[in-house]
């Protein structure tokens, strides 16, 4: 049986076009700066939450790798 490629999600080209434009670049720079400012201002809170986020990250990775074998899209 011949397999056909999946169609691209709608609006995908618009997003790629925005990221390559000067306005998109400016938005990315502003968001990166805001993220860094938040990280530096709230680093104590971020470091305190790391032990809580570690089990969540492990569960997420297990979910991704355990569903890798059957590629059905269903859980």
pLDDT tens for the chain, 75 residues long, are 667 666 665 655 666 677 788 888 899 999 999 999 998 999 898 889 888 889 999 999 998 888 775 665 555
pLDDT (0 to 100) of residue 73: 57
Tokens of 25: 């670049």
**pLDDT, position 36:** 94
CA distance 51 to 54: 5
Those residues with Cβ within 8 angstroms of residue 17's Cβ, 6 or more apart along the chain or in another chain = 24
25-29 long-range contacts, Cβ below 8 Å, gap at least 24? none
d(CA 61, CA 74): 17
0.85 exceeded by the pTM? Answer: no
Specify whether the CB–CB gap between 42 and 50 falls below 8 A: no
């Amino acid at each position: 049986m011949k397999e056909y490629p999946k169609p691209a999600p709608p609006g995908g080209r618009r997003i790629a076009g925005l990221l390559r434009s000067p306005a998109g670049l400016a938005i990315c720079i502003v968001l990166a700066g805001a993220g860094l400012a938040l990280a530096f201002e709230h680093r104590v809170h971020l470091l305190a939450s790391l032990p809580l986020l570690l089990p969540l990250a492990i569960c997420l990775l297990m979910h991704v790798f355990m569903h890798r074998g059957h590629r059905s899209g269903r859980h």
